[in-house]
Structure 1
C-alpha cells in the first residue's frame, strides 16, 4: 500500500521532467494524504500533456453516490486490468503522479509503527503510475479522482513493507500516457518493482502519522 507521499520540487523541475509547457505553481508538500487533491500528469483530449489536481481516492464512474463510494487510493497492478473499478481506467485513463518520496510503516516492539521515507538516491523527481476516473452526478457535478498503482516491493522497500508504488521510468512516460493505446498488455512490463539501487530508506519522525502535519520536518532523518 502507498498511503502517503511527498512532492517538494520546483515547478520548473516538474515541467522539465515531464515535458510540460504549462505547470501550475505548486506548494512543497511533505505529507500528502488520501482524499486530498494531488498533482497528476496526463494527456488531454488533444494529446497534450497537462498537470492537473485530482482527488486521491478513485471514485468509479458507475458509483451512484461518491460519498458512499469505497474510493480506493491504490490499485494492484497485477489485477487492475480485470477489476470493475479500474478496468476502463487502465485501458483509457492512465496517468503519472509526480513524487519525491513515499512513506511506509514498519511494526516494531510495543505495537509502535516506525515510518520510513523512501526516496531516490539522487533525491530527484520520479513518477508513480496512476489511473484516473471521471464521475458525473445527475445534477451536473463532476469529480475527477485517481488511484496509485502498486506492485511487489523491491529489496529495499521489502524490509519494511511487501508492496510499493509502480515507478514508471522517464523513457516510458509516453507509452504509459498514450490514450490511443488501449491494449493493457502492452504496458504490463512496466509493473515490476523498481531496481534495488534506485531508492534509499530513511527512518523519520512519527509526526508524519498525522496527515495534518505537512512540514519540512516530515522528511528529516532520525
Structure 2
C-alpha cells in the first residue's frame, strides 16, 4: 500500500517532466510528509493536453453524501480495480499520475515499535504513481484521487506485501489514455532493482512531522522479518 509519500520536485520542474500545463492552485513543495486527505499534485490528460493539478488524496465515490460517509479510499488494488463499484469507471476513464520523490512504509520491532522506511528510485529519478481520480460533489465539486497498488516485488516484500504501481516514462501515455487501450497490462509489480530504501526517523510516524530530515537515513537497517505491518 502507500499511506504517505514525499514530493520535493518544484512545480515547474514537475510540469516540465510530464509535459503538463500547471494549475495556479498547486500544493506547496517540498512536502516531506504528504498525508491522506491533503491536496497532492496530479497529472491528468484531456482535450487540452496534460494538466498538473491539485486533488484531494482520498477517493470519494459519487454516492458518498459527505467526505466521511464511508471508508477513506487512498489506495485501489490493481487486481480488483475494474470490479469495485467505487473504482471501475475511474479505471476505465479517469486515470492519472501522482509525482513523488519517494514513499514510506513501516515494519515493527520485536517490542512492537513502528519502524519507518523511505523507498525511492535507485536512479534518484522522480517516481510516477499510477492513480485514478473522481470529481465528487455537485455544488462545489472536489477532485479526489487514489493510488493504485500491486503485490510487492521480491525486493520490497520484506518491508510490505503491497507496493504502489510505479510507471516508467514510456508507459505514462498509455496509462493516461493518450495511446488507446492497454493500460490494464501495466498493472503488475515493478521490475526488480528499480527501487532502494533505508530506515528513517520515527518522527515521520506523526502526520504533523515535516522537514528534509524525515527522508534521511536513520539507525539500523536490518529488516525485522516476520514483523511486517
TM-score, length-normalised on structure 1? Answer: 0.92
Is 1:158 the counterpart of 2:157 in the alignment? yes
| Residue range with higher mean Cα deviation, 16-25 or 89-98 | 16-25
- 2:203 aligns with 207
- Give 1:15 shift: 2.3
- 1:11 aligns with 11
Pairing partner for 1:221 from 217, 222, 226: 217
Q: Summarize deviations over 1:131-182 as a string: whole Å, max 9, x none.
A: 1001123xx121210000000111221110000000011101111111795x
Answer yes or no: is the 8 Å Cα contact 1:59–1:70 preserved in 2: no
Answer yes or no: is the 8 Å Cα contact 1:104–1:115 preserved in 2: yes
- 1:171 aligns with 170
Q: Which runs of 5+ in 1 are unaligned?
A: none
Distance in structure 2 (CA, Å) of the matches to 1:87 and 1:117: 31
Is 1:58 the counterpart of 2:59 in the alignment? yes
Answer yes or no: is the 8 Å Cα contact 1:11–1:23 preserved in 2: no
- 1:41 aligns with 43
- Give 1:82 shift: 0.6
- 1:116 aligns with 117
Number of residue equivalences: 216
The structure in which a higher percent of residues are helix is 1
- 1:85 aligns with 86
Distance in structure 2 (CA, Å) of the matches to 1:180 and 1:196: 26
Answer yes or no: is the 8 Å Cα contact 1:151–1:163 preserved in 2: yes
Answer yes or no: is the 8 Å Cα contact 2:165–2:189 preserved in 1: yes
Answer yes or no: is the 8 Å Cα contact 2:59–2:74 preserved in 1: yes
Answer yes or no: is the 8 Å Cα contact 2:19–2:50 preserved in 1: yes
Q: Which runs of 5+ in 2 are unaligned?
A: 219-229
- 2:143 aligns with 144
| Residue range with higher mean Cα deviation, 19-28 or 125-134 | 19-28
Answer yes or no: is the 8 Å Cα contact 2:21–2:52 preserved in 1: no
What RMSD in Å do the two structures reach over aligned CA positions?
1.7
SS at 2:32's partner residue? Answer: strand
Answer yes or no: is the 8 Å Cα contact 1:6–1:31 preserved in 2: yes
TM-score, length-normalised on structure 2? Answer: 0.89
SS at 2:157's partner residue? Answer: helix
- 1:193 aligns with 189
